[in-house]
Structure 1
Amino acid sequence: MRDLSGKTAFVTGSVQGIGLEIAKALGGAGAAVALHGLASAAEAEAAVEAVRAAGAPEVRFFAGDMRDTGAIDAMLAEVQAWGDVDILVNNAGIQHTAPLAEMPRAVWEAVLAINLSAAFHTMQALMPAMATRGFGRVINIASVHGLVASKDKAPYVAAKFGLVGLSRVAALEYASAGSKESGGVTVNCIAPGWTETAIIQPQIEARAAAHGGDRDAGIAALLGEKQPSLRTSDPAEVGALALWLCARVAHNVTGTTIPVDGGWTAQ
């Protein structure tokens, strides 16, 4: 059901964290994987080796600044020359916290460009060929902040809400492409809550220090504010969900946003 042999996946922001785990899951199912990120040569090679070790038959790294439309176009041309993209995962993103009145305009523009506009550009470039082939999967990594807001995150929340809306429009436009047999073309969002990535480690460490070094207690204190399960998610769990969405049996799962948030958005 989850055999992706013969398919090619392109995962943006995939040298670490959620993006890398998604790339490993897809590669482990037999897909050739195009990785992406702003990374050193050593970081890129480490990511390539990790995805290859997971079972991917082919892996290649592509660099590109997602704020720059010219760079995106050039990168996509290279990716498409390498292989027809059947699975697109838009994971690249940045965040900056500050009150609305103090948010730098340049930060607003950068967050919107990377977290939202870049997904529009990749989808616009790659989805028509998916429709022609009768199979395609677009998985956009949104956030609980694409469903609910938090203070001091205006550009991030705006971008993630926009990504959810963009995904719904694309899902409707491509809903009739392909068939049950071919797998169709679907567009979905995954909306993680607190997930064990590098971006939250400083917050966990600070909370743990306030609880005598007890990391579990620190996590519970941090998550208790919003995530009822009091448990973080592992990036590999998001990877497993992304892999399921790529299965042909998921041909009618489109236009959805699936929270992985321990009940955060159920409140």
Structure 2
Amino acid sequence: MPGHKVSGQTASGLSVDLRGQTALITGSTSGIGEALAKGLAANGANIILNGLGDHDEIEALRADIAKTYGVEVRYHSANMLKPDEIEDLVGYAKSEFGRLDILLNNAGIQHVAKIEDFPTEKWDAIIAINLTSAFHTIKHATPIMKAQGRGRIVNLASAHALVASPFKAAYVAAKHGILGLTKTVALELAEHGTTVNAICPGYVRTPLVDAQIGDTAKARGISEEAVVRDVMLSAQPTKKFVEYDQLVGALLYLVSESGASTNGTHLSVDGGWVAQ
């Protein structure tokens, strides 16, 4: 996992002073979550990592971020299917650093299948991890942020929070739900110095997307090359995958003071997908 370095100033083009702040990022041991954690660390935030993976690899990642960016980094193994572990995760952030300034709900899974073939257990797991876990983290983070008088909650949604694609019933339903949750909590916290927003990426070349390529090829009966060309990137007018650093730039804006009046909405980072 150690390897790609994300600098808030040189990579994303933005620099925000987050020194002294604590950021909790769910699903941050790989992919988008890892990149966003590094983007926040590059700007001075102390980090709570969370996610699945090999213990030694996760420890190497934790140590790498701490050394590279000169911040404190912790890891908590909360399972996003278990509400009590999620509550403990948020409490851990407060107990370790005395505050929680940034909550980034990023954890997510995917399954691609026709609706008549969609396994019930996959539906339940996707709704639980992609949507319900964000309810639990926000529920427990809110009292901390209210007491501080300031906070930033960012939910990683998707272009699929705004439009649909076939064979992704649970994922699309969960991501649409994330936008509803974002708007509702933003209204509740608007007078408490805390903003709640969502980032809606298009396709980013992540391990999750790599797994989708094969599943989608099987579901549609086409080659994997055709999935990338004719299914995934056909939706993005730029014909390019979204880069990690472009998401870091959007995140840094939302957690900064410049983003203080951006509340209850979403930023689309999708190459023009939902403009069509």
TM exceeding 0.5: yes
Match of 2:103 in 1: 88
Match of 2:55 in 1: 41
SS of alignment partner, residue 250 of structure 2: helix
Q: Does residue 61 of structure 1 match 2:82?
A: no
- What amino acid sits opposite 2:40 in the alignment? L
Q: 1:151 to 1:60 in 2, by over 3 A?
A: same
SS of alignment partner, residue 225 of structure 1: helix
Alignment match of 2:249 (pick from 240, 253, 259): 240
- 1:89-138 superposed Cα distances (whole Å, 9 cap, x missing partner): 00000000111111111111110100000000000100222122121000
Q: CA shift at 1:21, angstroms?
A: 0.9
CA distance in 2, matches of 1:92, 1:198: 13
> Are 1:11 and 1:36, in contact at CA under 8 Å, matched by a contact in 2?
yes
CA distance in 1, matches of 2:267, 2:254: 10
> Are 2:233 and 2:241, in contact at CA under 8 Å, matched by a contact in 1?
no
- 1:173-219 superposed Cα distances (whole Å, 9 cap, x missing partner): 11111xxxxxx211010011111212233639x899859xxxxxx95
Q: Does residue 112 of structure 1 match 2:127?
A: yes
- What amino acid sits opposite 1:104 in the alignment? P
Q: Does residue 31 of structure 1 match 2:39?
A: no
Q: 1:106 to 1:6 in 2, by over 3 A?
A: same
Q: Does residue 140 of structure 1 match 2:149?
A: no
> Are 2:110 and 2:208, in contact at CA under 8 Å, matched by a contact in 1?
no
Match of 1:199 in 2: 208
CA distance in 1, matches of 2:229, 2:119: 32
Match of 1:103 in 2: 118
CA distance in 2, matches of 1:259, 1:14: 21
- What amino acid sits opposite 1:25 in the alignment? G
- What amino acid sits opposite 2:54 in the alignment? S
SS of alignment partner, residue 234 of structure 2: coil
Q: 1:56 to 1:191 in 2, by over 3 A?
A: farther
CA distance in 1, matches of 2:90, 2:242: 31
Alignment match of 1:256 (pick from 258, 261, 265): 265
Q: CA shift at 1:235, angstroms?
A: 1.6
Q: 1:98 to 1:219 in 2, by over 3 A?
A: closer
Match of 1:9 in 2: 23
Match of 1:122 in 2: 137
CA distance in 1, matches of 2:34, 2:156: 13
Would you say how many aligned residue pairs link Structure 1 and Structure 2?
Answer: 254
SS of alignment partner, residue 52 of structure 2: coil
Q: 1:222 to 1:172 in 2, by over 3 A?
A: same
Q: Cα RMSD (Å) of the superposition? A: 2.0
Runs of 4+ in 1 over 4 A off after TM superposition: 206-211, 218-224
Q: For structure 1, which runs of at least 5 residues remain unmatched after alignment?
A: 178-183, 212-217
CA distance in 2, matches of 1:56, 1:188: 28
Moved more, 238-247 or 113-122: 238-247
CA distance in 2, matches of 1:159, 1:115: 6
Q: TM-score, normalised by structure 2?
A: 0.86
Match of 1:180 in 2: none
Q: 1:22 to 1:56 in 2, by over 3 A?
A: farther
- What amino acid sits opposite 2:253 in the alignment? W
Q: CA shift at 1:224, angstroms?
A: 4.3
Q: CA shift at 1:74, angstroms?
A: 2.5
Q: CA shift at 1:29, angstroms?
A: 0.8
Q: For structure 2, which runs of at least 5 residues remain unmatched after alignment?
A: 1-14
CA distance in 2, matches of 1:108, 1:70: 21
CA distance in 2, matches of 1:135, 1:87: 9
- What amino acid sits opposite 1:201 in the alignment? D
SS of alignment partner, residue 20 of structure 1: helix
